[in-house]
Amino acid sequence: DSGVTQTPKHLITATGQRVTLRCSPRSGDLSVYWYQQSLDQGLQFLIQYYNGEERAKGNILERFSAQQFPDLHSELNLSSLELGDSALYFCASTREGDNEQFFGPGTRLTVL
């Protein structure tokens, strides 16, 4: 158990819908990273937050957005969902000054 929690574990929805994925980092970790893992690709970095502020942006679509709240949990919002958005979504957290990322168990999103 990495100490990072993600909910829900599975999510099935339809095209055009909007979903919210939630991540709670390890206690004391200020940074949260979001990744997408599709069947035909490796882990793709989406976005990083540090203590509530966006710090780095990767290959995140405009239909996707994220935020980190004062209690440091983070949410990834995916809207106007397409079939190609079906994937595993992971979040990871790190401690200040530490490079090691601890990953959550992931949310499997299926868009029908």
Partner 1 sequence: GESVGLHLPTLSVQEGDNSIINCAYSNSASDYFIWYKQESGKGPQFIIDIRSNMDKRQGQRVTVLLNKTVKHLSLQIAATQPGDSAVYFCAEKASGTYKYIFGTGTRLKVLA
Per CB under 8 A, the list member of 7, 68, 106, 111 interacting with partner 1 is: 106
**Are residues 104 and 4 in contact, defined by beta-carbon separation less than 8 angstroms?**
yes
Q: Which stretch binds partner 1 (CB under 8 A): 11-19, 65-73, 76-84, 86-94?
A: 86-94
Minimum separation from the CB atom of position 3 to partner 1 (A): 11
Query: Secondary structure of 7-40 in the HEC alphabet?
Result: ECCEEEECCCCCEEEEEECCCCCCEEEEEEECCC
The yes or no reply on residue 2 touching partner 1 (CB under 8 A) is: yes
As a whole number of Å, the end-to-end CA separation of the chain is 31
Tokens 């993600």 belong to residue:
6
Residue nearer to partner 1 on the CB measure, 82 or 98: 98
Binding site for partner 1 (CB under 8 A): 2, 4, 31, 33, 35, 37-45, 48, 50, 55-56, 58, 88, 90, 92, 99-106, 108
